[in-house]
Chain A
Amino acid sequence: MKINLNNKEVSMAGESFSVRELLEMMKYSFPMIVVKVNGHLVKKEDYERIFVGDGDNVEAIHLISGG
C-alpha cells in the first residue's frame, strides 16, 4: 500500500496497519504525538482501533515538552 505521510508518499508491504503499528514502523519514538488521518484527529486511546490503508493521508507530529 501507499500512503501520504507528512506530505511524502510512503510505500509499505501490507494491506493496512493500525496507527500504533504505523508509528512504530516509522520510528516515532516520543511518547506524545499528534496524529491525523485524512484530516481527523486520532486520539491516543484509538491508536489500535483506527487502521490506515492505501491512499490515506496521515499526519504525525511529535509534541515536545518545554514552554
Chain B
Amino acid sequence: MKSRLEKLKGTCVGIAGCGGLGSNCAMALARAGVGHLVIVDFDVVARENLDRQYYFIDQVGQKKIQALQENLRKVNPDIIVEAHDLRLGPDEVVRVFKDCRVIIEAFDRADMKLMIIETVTERFPDKFIIVGSGLAGYGGNNALRTRRLGNLFICGDETSEVSEELPPLAPRVGVVACLEANQALEIVMDDLEPAGGDDVWDE
C-alpha cells in the first residue's frame, strides 16, 4: 500500500481545462494520492457552473485555477499544484505539460479536443492523452466507456452532444471525469507503454 502511494506521489498529471471534467478529475486524482498536478484554465467560476463543477458558492468570481488549487489543498495540503492562467494552443500545451506523464483533456469544444490529441501525439509520442467525448444529459450508464487507440484513451459515450435540451449535468460529467482519472491511475500504477499492445476495442 505504501509503495502504491509513493508511486502516485511522484507522478505528474496535466489537466487541460478546469470546468466540469477538469475540476472533478483533479479532485479525484488528488484524493487518490497523485502528488503533482498541472492545471490550466483562463476562466472564472460562474454561479451556473455549480451544477457540475467542483466549486462552491463563495468561490463565484474567482479564477478557476485559484479556486481549484484551494479545493485541492483542502484535500491534500502537500500536493504540488502548478496553475497556469492561459488559453491553450499547441505551443502552450508543449510548454506547460512537458513534465507530465499523462495529460487529461478537459475542454468543452470538440475542436480543442482534436487540437490537444494532435499536439500530444505529434510532439509527445511518449506521453498519454486521455479525452472525454460524449457526456451530455442523464441516464445511459452503460453507454459510458473507455476505448484505447495507442497513446490515446477516449472516455464517454461518443454520441451525446451538449445542447439546450441536453445540458451537461453533474452525474454524467462526474462519471466521465472519473473515467479519465481512473485511466490515468491505471497508466501510472501498471506502467502502461504508449505504443505497447494492440488498440483495444470493446465491441
The chain A residues found within 8 Å of chain B, CB to CB, are 6-7, 30-34, 36, 39, 41, 43-44, 59, 61-67
- Within the complex, the shortest CB–CB distance from A65 to chain B, in Å, comes to 4
Q: Determine if B19 and A67 form an interchain contact, defined as CB atoms under 8 angstroms apart.
A: yes
Q: Determine if B201 and A64 form an interchain contact, defined as CB atoms under 8 angstroms apart.
A: no
Q: Determine if A67 and B149 form an interchain contact, defined as CB atoms under 8 angstroms apart.
A: no
Q: Determine if A66 and B162 form an interchain contact, defined as CB atoms under 8 angstroms apart.
A: yes
The chain B residues found within 8 Å of chain A, CB to CB, are 17, 19-22, 105-111, 113-114, 117-118, 121-122, 131-136, 147, 149-150, 152, 154, 156, 158-162, 168, 173, 195, 199, 201, 203
Task: Specify the chain A residue showing the minimal Cβ separation from B162.
Answer: A66
User: Which B residues are CB-close (under 8 A) to A65?
Assistant: 108-110, 113, 161-162
Q: Determine if A66 and B168 form an interchain contact, defined as CB atoms under 8 angstroms apart.
A: yes
Q: Determine if A30 and B201 form an interchain contact, defined as CB atoms under 8 angstroms apart.
A: no
Q: Determine if B110 and A61 form an interchain contact, defined as CB atoms under 8 angstroms apart.
A: no
Q: Determine if B114 and A34 form an interchain contact, defined as CB atoms under 8 angstroms apart.
A: yes
- Within the complex, the shortest CB–CB distance from A54 to chain B, in Å, comes to 20
User: Which B residues are CB-close (under 8 A) to A6?
Assistant: 201
Task: Specify the chain A residue showing the minimal Cβ separation from B156.
Answer: A64
Q: Determine if B161 and A66 form an interchain contact, defined as CB atoms under 8 angstroms apart.
A: yes
User: Which B residues are CB-close (under 8 A) to A61?
Assistant: 133, 147, 149, 154, 158
The answer for the CA separation of A64 and B110 in the assembled complex, in Å, is 5
- Within the complex, the shortest CB–CB distance from A43 to chain B, in Å, comes to 6
Supply 20 further A-B pairs (C-beta < 8 A) apart from A66-B173, A67-B20: A30-B110, A31-B111, A36-B150, A36-B199, A41-B121, A41-B152, A61-B149, A62-B134, A62-B159, A63-B114, A63-B133, A64-B133, A64-B158, A65-B108, A65-B110, A66-B132, A66-B135, A66-B162, A67-B105, A67-B132
- Within the complex, the shortest CB–CB distance from A11 to chain B, in Å, comes to 19
User: Which B residues are CB-close (under 8 A) to A41?
Assistant: 117-118, 121-122, 152
